[in-house]
Amino acid sequence: MRRMWPEELNFVLDHAEEVTLDIPLALREDEGHRGAIHRQALRVRLPEETCARLWPLAETRYRLDGARRGKAITLVTTNPHYHSIHPADGGSEEQTADSGRHYTTRYVILHFLLDDVRETAEAG
């Protein structure tokens, strides 16, 4: 089944940065199993409230449209290979509302794995 990224959440990816993640492999005695896996990803810094809205979408692959057509993303949350980077503290910002009240917005950095989508063509 092809799942498209929800249009109402396109704002999440508007300022996403394309990065390469270096995920260390588990160290074993066999030299062939050492090193790292390199994965393309999108890194986003979002308010905690927005992250809570995204969490139900985790671990599911979504196809993208628009400028990133032909790509798919997956928000990884439970895979142990990614625990060292995801989610990460994105800091906080002190702000003042129009009413003069001070408040703090906390941010989280999330990574979406980024893959090329391969379409299959039917023989005619």
- Each residue's pLDDT expressed in tens, for the chain with a length of 124 residues: 689 999 999 999 999 999 998 877 665 555 555 667 788 999 999 999 998 899 889 889 999 988 899 999 999 876 666 666 667 788 889 989 899 999 899 998 899 999 998 766 565 5
pTM: 0.77
CB proximity list for 10: less than 8 A, separation 6 or greater:
66
Q: What is the pLDDT of residue 14?
A: 92
Confirm if 38 and 22 have CB atoms less than 8 A apart.
yes
Q: What is the pLDDT of residue 47?
A: 93
Which of 66, 25, 82, 45 lies closest to 74 in space, CA to CA? 82
Q: What is the pLDDT of residue 9?
A: 93
Phi-psi region of 13 (alpha: psi -120 to 50; beta: other; left: phi over 0): alpha
Q: What is the pLDDT of residue 80?
A: 63
Q: What is the pLDDT of residue 7?
A: 92
Residue 71 amino acid letter: K
Distance, CA of 78 to CA of 10 (rounded, Å)? 23
Q: Is the dihedral of CA 63, 47, 50, 58 positive or negative?
A: positive
Structure token pair of residue 38: 């390199």
- Cα of first residue to Cα of last residue in the chain, in angstroms, is 23
Q: What is the pLDDT of residue 88?
A: 74
Q: What is the pLDDT of residue 79?
A: 65
Structure token pair of residue 81: 């290979």
